[in-house]
């Protein structure tokens, strides 16, 4: 099933809002076996919305419109769908009643303008919105393209997702036929895209299999696509081969992010982690506490952003700081040990470095030391060579993000006993040593 997305809103064209809805819908539809073939953003103009929806239905099997369903007069999606369907808007008494009840519950008056949310095209049906006021809409349109369906959803992300999940996806899935294409995404950390690609050449040679590389700072997702009648078998074979070739670089699959993997590994072992941060300012802890239930694995942390706090809060020896400055591998180790012991966790992570955009104490931007202190083993520190752009603008968030990924991955490797040195880096250094 081919689906086109139409996102409505001047704020998206002006860049005040990022189109996260389109990405979420793309993932949700792909997971259900449908494919988004085009995604268009248009402004709050009636004619343009009508044209975009109609054009989408000419090309695709169904269209999903998000945005423009709110109460204000620049919300025009209802009107556009009525025009496209060649019908009128009618006020739905059941929706009016629900809006009245909702207003009463939160103790606010129901403005006349809000009743616009109860207007729907005469040939449409509302879709219940469990998270907010404006219902979704389902409208069947007829034209040269035959008879096709368009779904309209509010632009507020959590409302859109709720309506999509409960009211739209089940209906779309019921209308699909044939075997869906098979896809699987494996997640890697701390390896470069080009190194992965060279190593995965044998997978590219498998029949019916295609690889796509999706790089993020210090992470690369590898999407394996298999098509054809044997797609499921080919996908499984390809996945096994990728995992064989990449070894410990693969940390998870699908939606399993690095913080979730680390959380799962710790909880399985009844262990915990505490973090001592510097250049990341709190981002590492924020990441470790993102998921529900994270208090089972994450006890807390210390952000020693100012250098003297590394001594007073974490017990980093003052003479080490005086001698080496705050950006030094031994400082990262002392931070990891200090936070582990002072916060009573199984593992301590310590990070120090230069986020930029300016160098610090003679260390270039991107100099980063990441240490882990585990239960009953010697602390380990790594100094990754972060691949950074030559120009300095925008480098700071990159360095901070890469540092968080390297710290989480070092913790993962440490828990799994994989060793802190990455085997390819090791192999390259051996080669260079021999050459």
Which 98-157 positions form the footprint of a second copy (CB under 8 A)? 108, 130-132, 157
Among 1, 8, 36, 65, the residue binding a second copy under the rule CB under 8 A is 36
Which 3 state secondary structure label does DSSP give 213? Answer: strand
- Is residue 299 a contact point for a second copy (CB under 8 A)? yes
Q: Which CB atom, from 194 or from 377, has the smaller least distance to a second copy?
A: 194
37 to 76, contacts with a second copy by CB under 8 A?
Answer: 37-43, 48, 74
Q: Of the ranges 24-32, 136-144, 327-335, 418-426, which one interacts with a second copy (CB under 8 A)?
A: 24-32
Among 135, 136, 167, 301, the residue binding a second copy under the rule CB under 8 A is 301
Tokens at 105, concatenated: 């519950």
- Is residue 300 a contact point for a second copy (CB under 8 A)? yes
- Is residue 422 a contact point for a second copy (CB under 8 A)? no
Q: Which CB atom, from 261 or from 279, has the smaller least distance to a second copy?
A: 279
* Min separation Cβ 62 and a second copy, Å: 15
d(CA 215, CA 196): 11
Which 3 state secondary structure label does DSSP give 173? Answer: helix
375 to 404, contacts with a second copy by CB under 8 A?
Answer: 389-391, 393-398
Q: Per-residue contact track with a second copy, 219 to 258, x per CB under 8 A?
A: --x-x-----------------------------------
d(CA 121, CA 134): 14
Closest to 384 (Cα-Cα) out of 184, 192, 153, 138: 192
302 to 341, contacts with a second copy by CB under 8 A?
Answer: 302-306, 309, 313
d(CA 330, CA 123): 70
Angle at 39 between CA 38 and CA 43, to 5 degrees: 140
Closest to 69 (Cα-Cα) out of 33, 21, 141: 21
* Min separation Cβ 123 and a second copy, Å: 27
Q: Which CB atom, from 157 or from 317, has the smaller least distance to a second copy?
A: 157
- Is residue 170 a contact point for a second copy (CB under 8 A)? no
* Min separation Cβ 14 and a second copy, Å: 5
Cβ atoms of 238 and 206 closer than 8 Å: yes
Q: Is 434 exposed, middle or buried (0-12, 13-18, 19+ CB in 10 A)?
A: exposed
Q: Which CB atom, from 12 or from 262, has the smaller least distance to a second copy?
A: 12
Q: Of the ranges 22-30, 170-178, 260-268, 419-427, which one interacts with a second copy (CB under 8 A)?
A: 22-30
* Min separation Cβ 106 and a second copy, Å: 8
Q: Per-residue contact track with a second copy, 259 to 298, x per CB under 8 A?
A: ----------------x-x-xxxxxxxxxxxx-x-xx--x
213 beta partners: 222
- Residues whose CB is less than 8 angstroms from the CB of residue 383 and which lie 6 or more positions away in sequence, other chains included: 329, 367, 368, 369, 370
Instruction: Provide φ and ψ at 270, rounded to 5°.
Output: 65, 30
For residue 357, say if its preceding peptide bond is cis, omega within 30 degrees of 0: yes
- Residues whose CB is less than 8 angstroms from the CB of residue 125 and which lie 6 or more positions away in sequence, other chains included: 137, 138, 139
Q: Which CB atom, from 171 or from 358, has the smaller least distance to a second copy?
A: 358
124 beta partners: 139
Q: Which CB atom, from 124 or from 211, has the smaller least distance to a second copy?
A: 211
d(CA 168, CA 401): 35
């Amino acid at each position: 099933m081919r689906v086109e997305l139409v996102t409505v809103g001047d704020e998206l064209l002006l860049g005040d809002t990022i189109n996260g809805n389109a990405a979420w819908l793309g993932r949700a539809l792909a997971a259900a076996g449908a494919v988004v073939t085009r995604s268009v953003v248009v402004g709050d103009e009636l004619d343009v919305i009508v044209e975009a929806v109609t054009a989408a239905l000419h090309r695709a099997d169904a269209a999903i419109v998000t945005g423009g369903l709110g109460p204000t007069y620049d919300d025009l999606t209802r009107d556009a769908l009525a025009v496209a369907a060649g019908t009128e808007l009618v006020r739905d008494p059941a929706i009016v009643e629900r809006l009245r009840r909702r207003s009463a519950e939160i103790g606010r008056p129901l403005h006349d303008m809000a009743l616009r949310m109860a207007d729907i095209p005469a040939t449409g049906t509302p879709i219940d919105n469990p998270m907010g006021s404006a219902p979704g809409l389902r409208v069947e349109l007829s034209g040269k393209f035959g008879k096709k369906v368009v779904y309209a959803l509010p632009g507020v992300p959590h409302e859109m997702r709720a309506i999509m999940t409960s009211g739209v996806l089940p209906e779309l899935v019921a209308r699909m036929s044939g075997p869906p294409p098979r896809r699987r995404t494996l997640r890697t950390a701390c390896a470069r895209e080009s190194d992965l690609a060279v190593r995965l050449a044998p997978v590219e040679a498998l029949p019916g299999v295609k690889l796509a590389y999706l790089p993020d700072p210090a992470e690369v997702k590898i999407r394996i696509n298999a098509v054809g009648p044997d797609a499921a078998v080919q996908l499984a074979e390809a996945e096994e081969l990728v995992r064989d070739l990449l070894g410990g670089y693969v940390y998870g699959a699908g939606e399993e992010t690095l913080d979730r993997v680390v959380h799962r590994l710790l909880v399985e072992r009844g262990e915990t982690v505490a973090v001592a941060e510097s250049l990341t300012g709190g981002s590492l802890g924020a990441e470790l506490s993102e998921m529900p239930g994270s208090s089972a694995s994450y006890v807390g942390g210390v952000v020693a952003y100012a250098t003297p706090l590394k001594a007073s809060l974490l017990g980093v020896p003052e003479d080490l700081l005086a001698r080496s400055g705050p950006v030094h591998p031994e400082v990262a180790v002392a931070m990891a040990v200090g936070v582990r012991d002072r916060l009573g966790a199984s593992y301590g992570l310590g990070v120090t470095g230069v986020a930029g955009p300016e160098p610090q104490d003679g260390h270039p931007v991107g100099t980063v030391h990441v240490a882990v202190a585990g239960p009953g083993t010697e602390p380990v520190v790594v100094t990754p060579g972060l691949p950074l752009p030559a120009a300095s603008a925008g480098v700071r968030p990159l360095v901070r993000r890469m540092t968080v990924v390297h710290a989480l991955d070092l913790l993962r490797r440490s828990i799994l006993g994989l060793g802190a040195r990455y085997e390819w880096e090791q192999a390259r250094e051996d080669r260079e040593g021999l050459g």
